Chain A
């Protein structure tokens, strides 16, 4: 009886092992194959449960020897269950769409479990069949097999869960403390696009590459290019697959990549294949938009022209929240008492936006800002003042000694004031200063030298100052990105065409 049982089991194992080795991946499996394959999740828990109890009883049998027979039965039944689950599993695997690395190890472990369970059963029962006491090798081998079985069942089960539910299923709701130990990002950041400055990030890197990496590259990457197509690098993306290019710049409707994604899920050729994780509508739309816009790998996100739909998607991704310059800094909000104190001096203080800690400050009369009280009142708000308008007031170089301690200043208005070249030296520390208005002051070329190090400076107004063309040219040479305005005039135009001999201004209602 036992011999016969062993022969049957061996046949099952051979069939399973041959399937593992011989059944190729790829191609479209028959419906009947898939029908059988889908029993895998239903039967796969049988070997796990049976073998787990078997291993448990093996432990207890050290104490209660009468359990030994039960262990044998469980090992035999577990081995058969593993064979059946394995066969179903190998059919299921042909439907494709699983992460290949995880899948291959899951397959191998599954087959290995059936083999080890059968081996353990054999080692344990062979001596009985031969009617002799078990040899030391058999005893050691049996112990080793049981331990290996425990390890393999655990691993294969884990990989199976990973294939079905995804790699992050287990850790998705892990407490943040544990997550950081495991080197995972905070729960709140899961699935969020991590975007830096949109002016320094290309649309491709920020939006498109992550989608392709997540949804396509498990099958379409350089090492494993299904259909000859890899989607994990620019060159490969442009090169296309066995059937030609997948992207036609500017024409999403003719691009195979878009065509496949938008095919109905049941249609032949739909990608990603049925059963694997699909692109969200938003992701599919972003890819279409990117290709229609020319499929550029260089275009900066900040320059991208959005459609209303894409804008809505980007808003959802929190692109609005991308912060640059001072807005990327962690600055404490201003104290309302300090603001009230400053306003009491005759100064208008207004928030720059609802959720940012920065304010704009404007003098509302000639002298309010030329006082020591103003300088003192500004100090508690030093980190909060982003725009400071001292224009058309009686301030002089003294105030600039305070201004230099406003580290987050982006716009500074000093037009028509008494500031001079001497005062400008104080401004050299303002690393975020983008706008400086000095028109109608006595600054000259020598003062401009102090501005040469202001890397953020983009606009400089110098109309009606002592600055010369040479001075402007020198500064411009140092700071090519700086717009310098030294006064404008309206170009003379030929107005004769707008003159008319008859001048009727007849308005009829």
Chain B
């Protein structure tokens, strides 16, 4: 039995039909996998198998430290979403529970090469000319 329930698998196959361009998922774990690293890897293996537009690369955080550094990954499990470029999307920990929605939505945004923001917001964001560090604190309720 896989991690995804049959109902969710069907839902995802349907949602992924709207992906227009390839999405590469890069995941960092390590040889001696922590339980959450294993959960994340198994979940991503299943998710990436649901569309031919999705691919998954699994890397070893310790053995491939240079690659991890290249992506700015400093902890595991880490999930990186890539399209034509690196948009800076990173998930640390297992994107499970409610965050699973967010992971799928981000995969869709990358797959459509469209973050779903309005033209005005995109115009304003294009004016940002230096690195900005943003932290958003949220409550799930």
> Do A and B bind?
no
